[in-house]
Amino acid sequence: MTPQDKESKLREVFVASDPTNHGALVGYVGESQFPVGGPDGAGHVSPGPNPYDLLSASLAACTAMSVRFQARRQKLPLERVEVGVSFHHGAQGERDSFERILVLGGELDARQRAFLLEAANLCPVGKILGISTDINTRLGATTSGHNESPQASYEDDLAEFQIPNINPD
């Protein structure tokens, strides 16, 4: 692989304020764009996924791809995969964590389900995030409403960080 080949495979992600939309943040990846939610600098909260949501979405997407890849590789009858992820701050002195629930559709036996649950841990994004957080994964019947514990709040975190010369909204 030449250096030029390597450069052409890089996909830069960037976020910029949109002057046509009151300075709301917009994320760009290639030709795709998406709103980035959170404090807008004027005392309001912009709609859209905040940075914690985007981080959780990255883990969920990578997990789904890893599970689907391993199922196809092993020729397992996986018909559908759904991954729910939520991010939680650890108590004082404890590590932050992600809760990840897999819903696997198809005529899978217990051994195949266990194999795919382990395949979730092969996700490259999860390996990176696992360096500084815990990732707890389990099988579930559904991903919605799975965890009643309080989720991390991006706005609360901004208020806690003491960043010189920057006032959080």
In angstroms, the CA 65 to CA 131 distance is 20
In angstroms, the CA 106 to CA 80 distance is 7
In angstroms, the CA 38 to CA 24 distance is 9
102-131 pLDDT, tens digit per residue, is 999 999 999 999 999 999 999 999 999 888
129-145 pLDDT, tens digit per residue, is 888 888 888 898 876 55
In angstroms, the CA 7 to CA 72 distance is 30
Task: List, by residue range, all CATH 3.30.300.20 domains of the chain.
Answer: 51-139
Which CATH code, of 1.10.10.10, 3.40.50.300, 3.90.1300.10, 3.30.300.20, is assigned to 51-139? 3.30.300.20
* Per-residue model confidence (pLDDT) at position 130: 85
- Asked if 11 and 58 touch (Cβ cutoff 8 Å), the reply is no
- CB atoms inside a 10 Å sphere around CB 95: 11
Percent of the chain with pLDDT over 90: 47
* Per-residue model confidence (pLDDT) at position 162: 46
Q: Can you give the pTM of this predicted structure?
A: 0.76
